[in-house]
Every structure is written in C-alpha cells, then in structure tokens.
C-alpha cells in the first residue's frame, strides 16, 4: 500500500466508523442546564443514585454554592452527595488532593481540561498539577488522582464543608452542626458528619463515611477550628484552624474539622480514594464499600454507571432527529432520573422492606410531568416512588410533598401527592396498596397539619368549612385551586375502589376552585393613558377572599413570593387552573373563542412562565378553545426560546427534572394531564419516535413532515392504532399496551382537525367518575 | 483507477474542499434573532440599503406583524421596505403571485422550502405551488416566480398593505392614508402610496414605485374597497372589495387598493418582477430601476449584494473561533449594518449634496455600541451618519434622536446625539463640520422643543434652572442622568474647539446627575419577614424630585413604561449611570468594595437587563470597583444566556443592531465608553482577532488560552503595542492607527491585574478636559 493509499484508506475507515450508530449515552451532555439556575448536577451518579460525587466550586461571590456553575473558577474539592435540578442541601464529605503546605479551607484550585460524562468527571487542578477523575456506584464514590512528583503530597478531608451556607440569611441556610473524624489506620478514615437546614429547613441528618486510599501514606493529621461559620463572609477565616497529629477529632458546633494524609509521589503517580457513604452507620458505610467497590477500579465503576444509564435511555428511540435534539432528549432523560434518590436500606428512622426514597424536590414540581413520564417509561420506578410515599405516610403520618435529608418539608402547594397517586391509579400501576393510598389521601384532605410548611394541606380548616382557603393563610389562591384538583384525585381513586360515598364527597369539593372566581374582576384592558381605549380586558379571575367571605384586594404580589396569594405563578396562570374541569373554566371565561383570546393575551403579554410548573399545562389548554392550533405556536416558540443544548439550556431550576420531562413530552408531541390518564397532542418536532412503555410493548409515533424547524407544526390529521383520531387527545389506556400514533403535519392550521370534542371535563354532559 | 480508489479520491477531494476557507458571508444566518422580539429582517438588502425586500407574514393572531416571525404560517406577499431590529413601520408595495381566482386581502399562502441568505430569499408558496425568489439593489427589488402550468396565473399588487396596523390601539399604529395605482401598460404599474404613523408616530410619508414584469400579461385590473381598515380585527374584511377593468385607481382614505395582472403559464415558467422604489417621485423610481436593475437578472443582483456584505465582513478576521462564534459575529455585523438607511438622493424635503440617512432607531439605542463599532470598522459610514444628522439639524432645527419615514421622533431619552457626535470627535473622524456640530449640540441643550417626544431635550427648562428634570416631565430620572452625560459631551467638543467658556459651562452641568441622588434612600436589604435580618441594603439611589425641590416617592414604576421616572431600566441601572464620572458614583456608593457588592447584587438579583440599552455598560463598571475580574463573570454568563446562533438568539429587540454590536465587542473582549474614546477590557472568547480600523491598519488581538467555553476568562496580564498594560482600559488613540493587544487568560482571577488605575473620571485628581 502506498503512503497515499494508506491515508485514503484511513480516511475512509474513520468516515465509516463515524457512520455507525453512537451509543445513546454519548448524547448525554451533563452541562446542559448547569448555569442560570438550571442547577443540574455535574459528576458521577447512577440513575436515582444516592451517591452523587462531583466537584464543589467557588462561585461568583466566593461561596461554595450559588450563582451558577460556570461562574466559578476554582474547585474546593469533591463531595459525595448532591441534588440535581435543585440546590440548597448536601455537599458532604469533601475530598481534595493537594501538594505543598496545606491551609485547610484555603486549598481551592482553578481547573482546566475538564470533562463531564455519565459516570465520569475529570479535571486538572492547575494549582497542584493534579489530574482528578471521579466515578461512583449507588452508595460509594471512587477517585483517581494523578500527582506530579512531590515530597509533600496530600489527601485532605473536610467534614465541615457543605453547600448553601450563609446564602439566605439564615432562612434556608445549611449548617454543619458537628461530627467526628477517625484515622483508623494510615489508609482509612471514618467518621460522621451532622448537618441541618437547607432548602427544606430540615432537622439534623447524619452522613457516615469510610474513606480508604491506596496512597503511600506516611503520616496522618487532623484539624479543627473554632465555633464560627467561616462562610458567613466571602473569604473563609482560616486563622483559628489548628492542625495536630491526633488521629481523632470531634466537634459539636459549626466549626471546621477534617483530616490530612501525607505522602510522597513520583511523577504521574496514581492515587486512589474510595468512599463508602451511609445514612445509617459507619459499619454500613464500610459494608457498602465492600459490596459495591471491592477494588479501586474506577474504569469498571464508570462502565457500570454508563450501562445503567444506557438501559434507561434505551426506552426512547428517535428517527430523523437532529444531533441537537438527541442531545436534548437523552440529557433530559438523564436529568429526570437524577432524583428522587433511592435510599432503600439507608433509612435511619425505621426498618422496612419497602422502597425508601429521599429528595422529593418536590412532588408539587414533579407530579405534572416527571411522574407521568416515569409511569410511561419506567413504571416499576414510579411504583416504588409511590410505595415509598405510602411507607413514609405510615411511619411519619403524612405523605411528603417535599423531603430531603430524611425530613419532610417544605410543602410547596399542598397535597399534590394526591394527583401523583391518582395518576398511578388511573394508569393501573401494579403493586401498590390502593387502600392505604386512599387513606393517605384522606388524611391529607381532612387532618390539619401542625405546620403547613411541613406536610398536609395548609388552611384546610377554612377550605373544608368555607370551600376555599382564606387569605389569612399563605398561598391561599394556589392552594384553593390545587386542593380542588387534589380532591378530584381522591374521588377518582375512591370511585375505583368502589367507595362511592367518599367519591361523591370529594367530587363535590373539586368544584371549589370556583369559590374564588370573581366574575367581575377585569384585567388586560388597554391602560395606555394616551391611546384610544379600544381593547377590552378579560373578566373573571381568581381573587383572595377574607375569612368572612368578602373579597380582598386582587393579587398584585410579586410572582413566586412565599407569602403571596399565588405560588410561582400569577393570576393569568392560576385562574385557569382546574385540569379536571376546563369546560367550566372556559364557560367562566366567556366561551371557547374568548378563552382562546385570553390565552393568546396571556402568552403574548408576558404572563406565561415556563420556568415554573404552574404554567406547564397552559399551552395545552387551547385544546378546550376554538383554536387548538395555537398550542403548536406556543410550544414551538417556548421550546425555541427557553430550551437548548447549552449550559443555559433549561429555563429555570430543573426542579429534579420537571423542566426536562416537560421538554421530552413536548418534543415528542404529547403531554399528560396528570392524574387523569389523558394526553393532549402538541406538535412533535421529531419525525419518528418509539417509546418503550413496559413489558416489551412500544408506542410508535410517526409525525409526517415534522422537523426541528417547526415549519410543519400543525397537525392536519391523525390516526391512533389505525383508527382516525379527530380530537386533540387520547387516553393512556389507548397506548398502555403499545400503539401507533400517526400524525400528518402541515405548515398551516387545519380548519377542522382537533375541533371535534375537547378533552374530558367534570362538567361535561353525562360525566361519570371511573369512566 | 479502480472504482474503490475513485471513491476514496472523491472522499478525499470533498474533505479537502471542506477544509478550504468558507466565504465570510456564508456565516451570515439572517434567522438569528427573528423570533422573540429580535425583529431582525428576513429578505434581501445591501448594507444600509433603502430597499429591504422580504416576505410579510401572518402572525399568531393573524395580523401582518407582531409576535415574531416563525410564529406565522402564511406569507401575505413580498414588500419592499422594512426595518431590521425594529418593528412598527413600512411594509410598502406588496407583491404576491397567485393562481386561480383572486380575492384581494385573502391570498396568503403557507410556505415551505424556505431559505434566507444575504441578498436572497426563497420559499415555495404551497397554496399556489409557486416558487418565489427575491433579491435587491439599493433602491430596487427583483422577484423571480416559478409558476406551475396555469390558465389563471396572476401577479397582484397591494398598495394598502403596510405593517403594524391595529396593533397598538391607535398609539403606534401605521395607517395607509391613500394612494394611486396606474397600469401604464400590460408590463408596468406605477403609483404612489401614502402612509402615516408607526413606531415614531410620524406624519405622512410617500412611497413611489414603478413595477415592471416580463410576464405574458393579457389583462390588467385594479381594485378598491371602502374606507375601513380591514386589519382592525383579525380576519380581513373582503366584502367591500370591487375589482374592475379600470387601469387607474385612486383612494384618499384607509381603504384597500391594488392591481392584478393576469396571464397563463406553462409548467416551471419563470416570471420576473422588478420594482423601483423612490421617496421622491415616480420618475425617480423609474430612474432607480434603469440605473440599478436594467435587466431582470436576479442572480447578478444577488452576487452584488453578497459582494457588498463580504466587503463589510472582511473588516474582522477570527482565528481559533468556533463555527458558532463565527455565525454569531458575522451575522451581528450584518444586523448592525441594516440600519440606518442610506436615503441619499431620496430626500423629498430638501435638496442637498450631503448624505441623507433615515431610520435612526434610535440614537438613544445605538450611540452606546453601534456608533463606536462603525467608527472603528467603518469610519466613513459613521462620518456620513453624523453629517446626515447635522444636515437634518440645519433644515429641521434639531438633530433627531429617532427618525423614520422622513419624520423626526420619537425621542427615547434626550439629545444622545451629543454623545454620538462627541464619540466621533474625540476619535478624530475626519470630514465633519465640528462648529456646526457644536451649534447643534448647544441647540439641544438650550432650546426647549415644542414636543419633547419629537426632538431636543424634554424638561430642559427645569434642568437648566434647577439642575434636574422634575417629575412633572416623563422619564425625569433617566433624562437627568443622561443630560449630564450629554453636557459632558458638549464640554469635550467645545474644549477641543478652543471654546473654553462653553466647555466650562457644560462641564459644570455634567455634575447634575448628582442632584437626584438621595443618599438616604436604601434598597436591597433582606426583606424576608421570617428570616433574621442580616444583610444590609445599599444606600444612595437616584430619586424623583418635585419642582419645589422636595423628594417625591421613590421610583416603583414598571420598568420601561413610557411615562415612568426611568426609561427601559430600573433604579439599580440608572443610579450608576454617569459614564463620565464613575469615580463619583463609586464614592457615593460607599467606595470600591461596596460598589462591587452593589454590582454583584444587581446582577444576581435580576436587576440587570441586557435586552435594553441602559444596562449595556453595567458589566464594565467593575473596572472602577475592587473586583475588575467580575466583569468577566458577568459578561460570560450574559453572553451564554441571552445570545445564541438561533432564531431566539438576540435578547430583545435588536434595536437597529444595538444588541448585535454589543455582542461583537464583548465577544472580541473590549467595550467602548461612548463619547470618551475609552475602551474597557472584558473577556475575549476568541483566541485571535484582527480588526481593520481603516486606512489598511489593523488591530490585532491575541487572547492566549481563551475559548468559547469561558473557563479561561480572567485576564492575567496584558500588553498593548508591546508595552505592559496593567489597567483594564486603553484609549482609542492607542489603536486608531492599528495596534496589537496581547492578553494572557487564566482560569482564576489575577490578584493584581487591572487594579492599578481605573478608567478616567471627571472627578479624578488633576482631571482636565481635552486630555
């Protein structure tokens, strides 16, 4: 072979190689959404994995959490627990390799040559010229550090470190409250860290660890400081740190504590660290290490993580999708499956053989799209998530809306678990004790919680007596309309279980959203003082009521304030919130044409906020209007503006994958009405998708003429399982055992398609529960 | 050659071909920013071209302008005048090919196979199966329509059509006020359209046209309707349209009027249309056609447009940039050079040999970055833009802040032309009559305009008497601080011209920003009612004053309202607005450390709005603080979040390229302090750039270690023209004749670099004008 021919052949070979299908995990880009508050996790974790080992960074204002990932220059170290699509908790057991003299709390290093992939993170710590690599299993982390030649090499452990300290003036701060460190031998450190607070204002949680290393350690030291929180101000106070040769250290306050292992390295010497984590005991941490990380094999761990993600991604296959769309969809699956966290066997509070999950953040965020998504592609997982909620109910008294660090709270809305349970119920998820589930739902609906930010339904006394939460309680508007939907969920399950009296009672209550509807309240009229007034406003909005039944001032609170009438949404969003009775909302709004005008106004006047969940269903509401085609317009523009395959590619906090799951559904072209077993068609952006719906069955979606550019975004005609589908919606039962949805897309709205029968509503003539 | 070897060779050839440099114009993606209010133009135009021939669309709510380009499914036709990075005017002389029966105003067609490139637009009108292609020259448009076989083919002309009708309830609506159409022979239509209103609430402007076609026309018809505006409601009213065989039609009200040419076509028959446009007369429109479009050669026109853009793009060469960065930068140049529009020779108001530009939209938007950008890379163009302003001053009485359709108005701030003139002056732009310029500036400063929305400085009586605009005038806060900066600009020019008394007078006035500074006004303290209060607020904000000198209520207006205290910015932005005296602002804010904390708070608490110009300079203000490195953090995150190479890739209205020029400077790594001949260094994202600065000289920027990922975003050290540069800033004079800026970038902030001497301020010890 001549040299030239060889070059040609190599070129050909590389081209052919490039044409082979890439593994789906190669489409995962963990960086999507790390910035601008997407808060997605960077590091190694298996699906729903307890250990999330990744770097903690210095931020913009030199704190260990905050203004977005890429705003930071320096790595503080690598800790073993993190949230994803959330912030304000964890960051426990921080390990950092260094060279030279060590000043605890002042060892951060800039990084370069960084890479983040499923099951793998690597960066070079330029201050020390150390290459750091990370991987993990469910409950352990593995570190590989490649050192330069050094007479003065170290591994450091910072137990006091945790995220979200001093950021919120005491309100949602996390605190280190004490702990102990034991150098059991020159290759092992064990200990306990105790932490409290964080986003859910939780009580103390304990993290037990066993850290082992194959480094040639010659001496070990520990260190403590005084009782102040060094992160109150931007620059950590290292003046009180004392390093000693003691092999044991204990503190009982928010004071620095840690350990240093000293050794020498030759150039390119690799040092491994493996860390077993447990929420139960040091023994169990050691056990986890023995079971899951018997050797220091980072590469094997990484292969295992990738294999587990591959299995999850394998549920969705795309044809005709662009590379960008694939990156977005597969990364969205990855992000949706980061939390809640499988802590089965790691519950320090009670013994049970039931699944135990932590880090529900929060069901209020995830019940709308994440839960229906898991029900569709990972029904066993969703079953376990529901069973875990019921198990917590049985031991703690309530299903949690939110839970983190083994502590329930803070409730965002009320008992939105009711909808999550009903969604599983109407979709016939097997393996759940529905009678217990109904009990738990009724507890939500009837028993006033001691702390309305912790569990249950706040303001339930007024709601059950008067039919609405009064404005003496926070979030009384969003709570009232959500409780109505929750009550509908209870009615559904009760009806299915043959408990007609219960069903009847809660069905009656599910009308309650109407009790705060002020039909005379008008907004949206032209208020330009110099223009001729020619555009009328919209009449009828949800409005606060006083305990005596009189109207209070209309809501003008800042959107999203904790103490406002509505939570994370405004009157335009919440006034239309009754997913179980949109027919009635349309009537109240003046009929389908006026309702379409109102939705148009909402979207074109800045009242639609896809970065918070209350608006998730809003684009689909056109299905009840005279313009179902506007759903396609709104979805296309929303996806185009707020989602991308970049670091700022998630519109707001991913909320444990809520945003990501919204993206998946709306790219594939349909979206669930949570709790009701209904999907509404949107506008598929991918010509062909195949979704594994369990038991080897698949839902096959063909969208003829569809594409990323969105030009052909209007459905012209549809068939479902071979029969014409003239409505914008279908039932879960139609696809539960697989199915085929064939859509013909076009570049202008169809005059007729989708206008036959709107999706079901409680006010429909002839409506019956258990339909 | 064997078949296999041939394949290999072809493969090699195609690979080699791909490695050849692409023409810079291939990086222009006109779609960047068309959606979500970027409002960039789609169609054909030369740089600063008068004719902008492109499609007009039906929008979301079925109007001929509004909610963004891709939200529309159907094309109404192709009109010859448009804004870019703006909306609310033009859309004149609408041509649409059709087949079958014609119902004027109801001939819109969905489109497919659309492409938009410099000098070229094409789409298939699916309703008619007609391929439409467009190109243009400075003052003419050329259309090529490929018809199917049809016994009933047509070209239609809609004179009544214009954009932005019935959208703003009369406030900024555009109106058709009358016109005439003449079929002079079966291959030519001439006429006049008269229009008024639009974004600048301007009086009548007239568009003259001569339309010629090579279609085999057999009959010609005209049509008129009654006097109603058919676009008041969503669906056009076609019931009153009358089509006749008359070859002449005239209307004198807002009533439909147009013409139809009828012919037959064979399959794939190409029909051409060329349209000469003039703002002066039909004769001149015909002349423009003769001069610029002597044949129906669309391809030649297209090549000419591309060549003209290539010349503009050739001013910036990038090395080590990603394809995405190139698309963004070169498209940004394209968008920056769409407007103002060169109407030299097309001024219907007075005769002059001076350059005449229209569509200043608005100097208030563009003086900050677009004007300095043109001064740098296209000094002759900037010279002409300034000369045109002076020419308008001489005939109309004031330099316009904003102007469109030959009518001055609506002023956004006040006389920000003062800064634009000063910027050109301090950068020694040749060919400008500076004495006239100073006269024009003084007129702004001294003579109360009859209408403060039209020209001059509103509230100037109070300002000149009391030292601030009082809250009896709109925008009194933004006006006061901007007038201070405007006065500084006057002082600079006066000083340079040796008019010391004038310079002294205006230098004294340029302190006026301080007169609205309330040192006791505090904002930003923690207001969480349940948290311990531990974070103090920031003291000292610009606050409204009553005419009697007492403080009025602090500003809580909705950002950007026309009638508010501040325009398109809030108190966090405007309180720091004194580009000529930041030293004083820093003192008032509590010193460099507190000033950095205040800026941090501004950026992290949602007070920074890059989609409006008042905040353009804000990231650079860290140069006066104790943390110049934070500029890099803020710029990286802002670019990442708000700019991209997609349809939603511009954060807000491009404002005639203001956003685009901000992007260019901040990607290259420096940003101008308009009016002062100073540039502040940011964080280059491209390793090497070469900028042609006129006369064959180049500015060569090397940013070692820099990249799109932003990891190495902190300047560690710098040299300018071979000498160490330890400050964050340099002067235009340092690079006016070319130069070399070499930056070494790193992944963490330098402890020392950039902290030596902040950029100049009027309050600096030893400060002198004309320095």
C-alpha distance from A655 to closest chain B C-alpha (Å): 19
| CB-based burial label for B6 (10 Å; 0-12, 13-18, 19+) | exposed
DSSP secondary structure of A571-608: HHHHTT--TT-HHHHHHHTTSHHHHHHHHHHHHHTT--
Q: Which residue of B has its CA nearest to A73?
A: B748
Q: How many Å from the N-terminal Cα to the C-terminal Cα in chain A? A: 73
**Which among A68, A328, A748 is the top mutation candidate for probing chain B, defined by the most B β-carbons within 10 Å of its own β-carbon?**
A748
Determine contact: B269 vs chain A, CB below 8 A: no
The pLDDT score that the predictor gives to residue A167 is 61
- In B, residues 485-544, which contact A (CB 8 Å cutoff)? 526, 528-535
Whole-number Å distance between alpha carbons of A625 and A576: 12
User: From the list A74, A633, A644, which residue is nearest B644 (CB)?
Assistant: A644
Cα separation of B653 and B640, whole Å? 18
Comparing CB atoms, the residue among A111, A171, A711 nearest residue B528 is: A171
Chain B residues with CB-CB distance to A112 below 8 A: 711-712, 747
Which of A169, A630, A640 has the CB atom closest to B535's CB atom?
A169
Chain A residue whose CA is closest to B562: A528
Mark yes or no for CB contact A637/B532 under 8 Å: no
Residues of B in contact with A714 (CB under 8 A): 73
- State the average pLDDT over residues B687-697: 94
Alpha helices in A251-362 (DSSP H): 282-292, 298-313, 323-336
The tens digit of pLDDT for each residue in A39-67 reads 999 999 999 999 999 999 876 555 555 44
pLDDT greater at residue B607 or residue B397: B397
Q: Which residue of B has its CA nearest to A38?
A: B641
What is the residue-averaged pLDDT of chain A? 92
Alpha-carbon distance A5 to nearest alpha carbon in chain B (angstroms): 8
Please answer yes or no on whether A646 and B648 come within 8 Å at the CB atom: no
Whether residue B714 and residue A73 make contact (CB cut-off 8 A), yes or no, is: yes
Which residues of chain A from 720 to 749 reach within 8 Å of chain B, CB to CB?
746-749
Report whether pLDDT(A534) > 60. no
Judged against a pLDDT cut of 80, whether residue B746 lies above it is answered with yes
User: Is there a contact between B748 and A712 if contact means CB atoms under 8 Å apart?
Assistant: no
Q: Is the pLDDT score of A101 beyond 80?
A: yes
Could you tell me which of A594, A590, A591, A588 has the C-alpha nearest to residue A575?
A588
The residue to which tokens 């909705």 are assigned: B558
Considering CB atoms only, which of B35, B61, B630 is closest to A640?
B35
Mutate to test the interface with B, among A70, A124, A749 (most CBs of B within 10 A): A70
Q: What is the pLDDT of residues B367-384, one digit of tens each?
A: 999 999 999 999 999 999
Largest CA-CA distance found in chain A, in angstroms, rounded: 94
Q: What is the DSSP string of B438-498?
A: HHHHHHHHHS--S-TTTSS-TTHHHHHHHSS--TTSTTHHHHHHHHHHHHHHHHHHHHHTT
Look at A8-17, A421-430, B123-132 and tell me which has the smallest mean pLDDT.
A8-17
Q: pLDDT per residue over B77-92, tens digit each?
A: 999 999 999 988 999 9
A345-382 pLDDT, tens per residue? 999 999 999 999 999 999 999 999 999 999 999 999 99
Task: Calculate how close chain B gets to A350, using CA atoms only, in Å.
Answer: 33
Judge: B600–A60 Cβ closer than 8 Å, yes or no.
yes
B contacts of A685 (beta carbons < 8 Å) = none
> Mapped to the 3 state alphabet, what secondary structure does A181-192 carry?
EEEEECCEEEEE
Chain A CB contacts of B171 under 8 Å are 528, 530-531
pLDDT averaged over every residue in chain B: 92
Instruction: Tell me the pLDDT band of A747, cut-offs 50, 70 and 90.
Output: confident
Give backbone dihedrals phi and psi of B41, rounded to 5 degrees, phi first.
Answer: -80, 135
Count of CB contacts below 8 A, A vs B? 141
pTM comes to 0.91
A 564-603: CB under 8 A from B: 600
pLDDT at A241 over 80: yes
Percent of chain A with pLDDT over 70: 91
Q: Which among B68, B169, B711 is the nearest to A532, CB-wise? A: B169
Partner-chain contact A747 B534, CB within 8 Å: no
Could you give all domains of chain B from N- to C-terminal order, each with its CATH number?
A: 35-311 (2.70.98.10), 612-771 (3.30.2080.10)
Question: Cα(A169)–Cα(A659) distance, rounded to whole angstroms?
Answer: 28
**Which residue has better confidence, A682 or A163?**
A682
Q: Is B606 on the interface with A (CB under 8 A)?
A: no
Contact A71/B15, CB-based, under 8 Å? no
Can you tell me the distance from the alpha carbon of B616 to that of B662, in angstroms, rounded to the nearest whole number? Answer: 7
What pLDDT does residue A72 have? 58
Q: Hey, are the CB atoms on B637 and A35 less than 8 Å from each other?
A: yes
A610 neighbors A662 (Cβ within 8 angstroms): yes
* Binary contact (A126, B749; C-beta < 8 A): no
Place of tokens 């580009």: B579
Predicted confidence at residue B87, as pLDDT, reads 86
pLDDT tens readout for residues B565-575: 999 999 999 99
Q: How far apart are CA B201 and CA B405, in angstroms?
A: 10
CB contacts, 8 Å: B633 with chain A: 60, 71
Q: Among A121-130, B63-72, B589-598, B700-709, which is the least confidently predicted range?
A: B63-72
CB of B2 less than 8 A from some CB of A: no
Residues 6+ apart with CB under 8 A from B306: B23, B25, B118, B119
How confident is the model over A179-231, as pLDDT tens digits? 999 999 999 999 999 999 999 999 999 999 999 999 999 999 999 988 666 65
């Amino acid at each position: 072979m001549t040299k030239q021919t060889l070059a040609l052949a190599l070129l050909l070979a590389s081209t052919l190689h490039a044409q082979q299908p890439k593994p789906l995990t190669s489409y995962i880009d963990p960086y999507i959404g790390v910035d601008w508050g997407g808060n997605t996790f960077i590091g190694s974790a298996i699906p729903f994995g307890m250990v999330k080992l990744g770097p903690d960074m210095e931020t913009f204002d030199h704190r260990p959490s905050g203004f977005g990932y890429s705003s930071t220059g320096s790595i503080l170290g690598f800790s073993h627990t993190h949230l994803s699509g959330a912030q304000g908790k964890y960051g426990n057991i921080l390990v950092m390799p260094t060279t030279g003299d060590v000043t605890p709390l002042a060892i951060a290093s800039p990084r370069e040559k960084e890479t983040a992939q499923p099951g793998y993170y690597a960066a070079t710590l330029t201050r020390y010229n150390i290459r750091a690599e990370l991987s993990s299993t469910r409950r352990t982390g593995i570190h590989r550090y490649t050192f330069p030649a050094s007479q003065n090499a170290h591994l450091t452990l910072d137990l006091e470190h945790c995220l979200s300290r001093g950021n919120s003036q005491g309100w949602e701060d996390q605190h280190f409250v004490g702990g102990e460190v034991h150098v059991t031998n020159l290759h092992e450190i064990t200990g306990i860290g105790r932490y409290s607070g964080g986003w859910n204002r939780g009580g103390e949680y304990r993290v037990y660890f066993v850290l082992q290393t194959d480094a040639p350690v010659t001496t070990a030291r520990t260190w403590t400081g005084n009782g102040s929180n060094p992160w109150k101000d931007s620059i950590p106070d290292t003046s009180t740190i004392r390093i000693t040769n003691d092999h044991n250290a204990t503190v009982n306050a928010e004071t620095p504590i840690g350990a240093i292992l000293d050794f020498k390295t030759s150039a390119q010497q690799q040092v491994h660290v493996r860390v077993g984590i447990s929420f139960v005991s040091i023994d169990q941490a050691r056990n986890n290490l023995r079971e899951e990380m018997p050797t220091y094999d980072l590469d094997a761990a990484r292969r295992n993580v990738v294999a587990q993600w591959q299995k999850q991604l394998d549920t969705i296959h795309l044809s005709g999708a662009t590379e960008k769309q694939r990156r977005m969809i597969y990364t969205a699956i990855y992000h949706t499956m980061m939390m809640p966290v499988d802590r089965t066997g790691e519950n320090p509070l009670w013994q049970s053989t039931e699944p135990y999950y932590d880090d529900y953040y929060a069901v209020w965020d995830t019940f709308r799209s994440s839960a229906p998504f898991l029900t569709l592609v990972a029904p066993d997982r969703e079953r376990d998530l529901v069973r875990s909620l019921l198990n917590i109910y049985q031991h703690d008294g309530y299903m949690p809306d939110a839970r983190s660090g083994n502590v329930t709270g803070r409730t965002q809305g009320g008992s939105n678990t009711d909808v999550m349970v009903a969604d599983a119920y109407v979709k016939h998820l097997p393996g759940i004790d529905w009678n217990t589930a109904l009990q738990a739902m009724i507890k939500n609906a009837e028993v006033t919680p001691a702390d309305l930010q912790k569990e249950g339904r706040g303001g339930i006394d007024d709601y059950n007596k008067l039919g609405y939460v009064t404005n003496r309680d926070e979030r009384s508007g969003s709570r009232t309309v959500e409780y109505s939907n929750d009550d509908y969920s209870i009615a559904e399950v009760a009806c299915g279980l043959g408990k007609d009296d219960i069903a009847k009672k809660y069905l009656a209550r599910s009308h309650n959203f109407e009790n705060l509807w002020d039909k005379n309240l008008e907004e949206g009229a032209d208020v330009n003082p110099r223009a001729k007034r020619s555009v009328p406003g919209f009449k009828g909005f949800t409005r606060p009521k006083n305990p005596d039944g009189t109207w209070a001032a209309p809501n003008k609170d800042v959107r999203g304030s904790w103490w406002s009438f509505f939570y994370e949404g405004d009157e335009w969003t919440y006034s239309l919130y009754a997913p179980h009775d949109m027919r009635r909302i349309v009537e109240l709004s003046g009929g389908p044409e006026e309702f379409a005008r109102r939705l148009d106004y909402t979207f074109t006047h800045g009242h639609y906020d896809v970065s918070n969940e209350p608006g998730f269903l809003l684009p689909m509401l056109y299905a009840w209007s005279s313009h179902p085609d506007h759903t396609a317009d709104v979805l296309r523009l929303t996806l185009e503006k707020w989602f991308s395959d970049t670091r700022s590619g998630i519109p707001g906090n991913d909320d444990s994958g809520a945003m990501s799951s919204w993206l998946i559904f709306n790219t594939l072209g349909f979206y669930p009405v949570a709790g009701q077993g209904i999907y509404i068609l949107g506008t598929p952006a991918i010509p062909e998708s195949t979704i594994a719906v369990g038991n080897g069955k698949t839902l096959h979606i063909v969208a003829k003429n569809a594409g990323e550019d969105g030009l052909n975004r209007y459905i012209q005609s549809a068939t479902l399982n071979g029969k014409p589908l003239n409505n914008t919606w279908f039932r879960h039962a139609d696809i539960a055992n697989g199915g085929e949805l064939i859509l013909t897309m076009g570049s202008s709205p169809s005059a007729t398609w989708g206008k036959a029968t709107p999706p079901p509503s409680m006010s429909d003539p002839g409506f019956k529960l258990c339909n």
